[in-house]
Chain A
Amino acid sequence: GKSIRANGEEFDDEYESDDVLDGAVEASDARTMGAKPVNKVAYIDGVREAYYEKIASKAGSSFSIERKKKNHNKKHKNRDKSKKQYKGKVDRYSIVNVAGSVIPTFNPSFRVWEYNISGLESDYSVSGMPAQGWQKFFDNLEVQILRDLEDESSLSGLANTLSRNRKVDKTIPPRMPADLPLGPAYVPQLFTPTRFVQYYADLEAIERKYQKEVKKGASEEDAAAKAFAYKVEYTSDDAPYPMKSLLTGDYLDLAVQLANNETFWSKFKERAFLSTGYDD
């Protein structure tokens, strides 16, 4: 952000509004010295405002690829045109999944993801595959990166600036070739994530059970073994906002729902804080 602002340029609207997260993230930085949660409701409300509400304001009724396909195909017979239309909307987004932790900032947690392995279950063999050649790739990669870095490093001052302006910045990717199909994040296929199961350890319940077992005369080790367990907190297809799959379009649909529905938002927050009932 600093480099952009130094030039007097402004962030795009989406990230300008991200300023709403400032306080919460500063608090998060301070928190790195300890695990006690501070201002996390402000943070998650900021996420809703900066991301989910922005998406909701841009969305018509839905980002779901299948649903848009159906609606569009009713009106237009040309399938290729319809594909272009929603492709342009959904595939500009990528989903970042931020996980709950084991450290009891909230209740300890982790997630098991399920993904599509259709076609690989019974007859996939790598024994007939050509040699991987990764060693050669990494030998070349090292040389290539050094070459990229040395390219202009001997230049200085104005020469360097002029040269940089002329040359391609290799840390900016080329646009995805138009003939490549969308990957597993956008269209159901091999390796598309289909569902997740969020596990958590309810520390209050575990402590109650542990003390109960100790009182009953169990040894501390036996009591711990009986009391300690992770349980399913929720799954991605659970009510009140079940996701039928985990495509980017489904996440965008969910973002719209979370922006518009207070009951869903309340449940989402409860899950974000791992069912601890946390409030600022």
Chain B
Amino acid sequence: RLADGKTKSLKGRFLHITDIHPDPFYKSGTSAEEVCHRGKPKDASDTATRFGVAMNGCDSSMDLMNYTLDWVEKNLRDKIDFVVWTGDNIRHDNDRRFPRTESQIFDLNAKVASKFEDMFRNKDSINPRDFDVTVIPSLGNNDVFPHNLFSLGPTLQTRELNSMWSNFIPQEQQRSFDRGTSYFVEVIPGKLAVLSIETLYLYKANPLVDTCDSKKEPGYQLLLWLGYVLEELRSRNMKVWLSGHVPPLPKNYDGNCFHKFTLWTNEYRDIIIGGLYGHMNIDHFIPLDAKKSWKAVEKSS
């Protein structure tokens, strides 16, 4: 029974979906060597098919994205409680004839966000924030312009994001989102939250990220935010999933960012359930060792 008098039944399931990479320039029958945008295919293996060919280097056709989301809506929507969606909602910058522009990136991200809203909102409600299935998006390194480069806000990009995700981000967090683009959603009010972490502030390939040891670093400020939020969730006796695009691995996160982030995930092990990430496109798991990270942080300081 929710605070507004409505009721909602829990299913005990949730969906994690990531790295959709839809490409509006994808054209069936073209050559995979030309990233499925043009050209006559050399043979069958080089041919762009309607739903794509695994491992041929092309992004997702719009049909692949649309049919995937339709399948999810028909087969999973009513069986899940929430959706963790970890970014990269735009094609790669891999075609010199069609360089990506900032407006294309915003437009397609907004369209995909709108699709998720339509799929999971309460269709009987006039409240745009009334979702049958809560959606928690996070930002991918391809969702920003220039590629990988993303600074602390408020900037044009953080405001655009705030605007396109405004129905996903709780209202009281929208100002804080404008600065740090991280937020959390109480997927079961008072009990369970999902944190959407701006991993680009910890990401080595982001030219604006150097370490997490200086107060001017975006990663430092993200970790401050994370610490206060985790402590508050602990004090409220809530449990939490962490989510984001770039997974916390030593080769992905810069300087001490990896070790410090590992420490937070471990020292709040009374409330953190686990971490859900995308970016690598390979289904696997990594056990992070906090003892090693403590040693590394102590040595470096």
Contacts and interface: CB of A to CB of B under 8 A. Distances in A.
Interface residues of A, number: 119
Q: Which of A11, A115, A273 has the most CB of B within 10 A?
A: A115
Contacts, number: 367
A14 B299 CA distance: 15
B60 A102 contact: yes
Contacts of A134: 170, 172-173
A102 B215 contact: no
A129 interface: yes
A27 B49 CA distance: 26
Contacts of B269: 91, 94, 176, 182-183, 185-186
Nearest to B257: A171
Interface in B256-301: 256, 260, 262-292, 295-297, 299-301
Given A9-B300, A96-B249, A102 B225 contact: no
A120 B211 CA distance: 42
Contact of B68 (A7, A40, A108, A144): A108
B172 A171 contact: no
Given A112-B76, A126-B3, A174-B267, A47 B13 contact: no
Interface in B47-73: 49-60, 63-65, 67-68, 71-72
Contacts of A25: 251-252
Interface string A16-54: 001001100100110011111100100110010001000
A172 B63 contact: no
Interface string A89-126: 00111111111111111111111111111001100111
A222 to B, nearest CB: 13
Interface in B176-206: 176, 186, 188-192, 205
B58 A104 contact: yes
A171 B50 CA distance: 48
A193 B19 contact: no
A183 B271 contact: yes
Given A32-B141, A181-B270, A98 B283 contact: yes
Given A18-B250, A18-B251, A129-B190, A103 B268 contact: no
A34 B94 contact: yes
A21 B172 CA distance: 41
Contact of A224 (B57, B65, B67): B67
A248 B5 CA distance: 37
A127 B64 contact: no
Contacts of A148: 215, 224
A44 B265 contact: no
Interface residues of B, number: 123
A135 B232 CA distance: 13
B280 A98 contact: yes
A203 B285 contact: no
Contact of B225 (A145, A271, A272): A145
Interface string B130-148: 0000000000011000011
Contacts of A65: none
Given A34-B35, A149-B215, A272-B282, 19 more contacts: A33-B94, A35-B59, A36-B55, A51-B286, A94-B272, A95-B285, A99-B16, A99-B19, A101-B88, A106-B55, A108-B52, A149-B224, A176-B266, A185-B274, A207-B50, A224-B67, A228-B51, A230-B75, A276-B55
24 contacts: A12-B295, A21-B249, A32-B147, A36-B56, A37-B55, A37-B281, A93-B288, A94-B265, A95-B275, A96-B287, A97-B16, A99-B277, A102-B18, A102-B60, A102-B65, A102-B68, A114-B13, A117-B10, A132-B189, A134-B173, A149-B215, A151-B215, A183-B270, A210-B49
What are the 9 closest A-B residue pairs judged by CB atoms, nearest first? A36-B57, A101-B19, A103-B21, A171-B223, A125-B1, A100-B283, A101-B281, A105-B281, A173-B267
Interface of B: 1-3, 5, 10, 12-21, 35, 49-60, 63-65, 67-68, 71-72, 75-76, 79-80, 86, 88, 92-94, 141-142, 147-148, 170, 172-173, 175-176, 186, 188-192, 205, 211-213, 215-216, 220-221, 223-225, 227-230, 232, 239, 247-252, 254-256, 260, 262-292, 295-297, 299-301
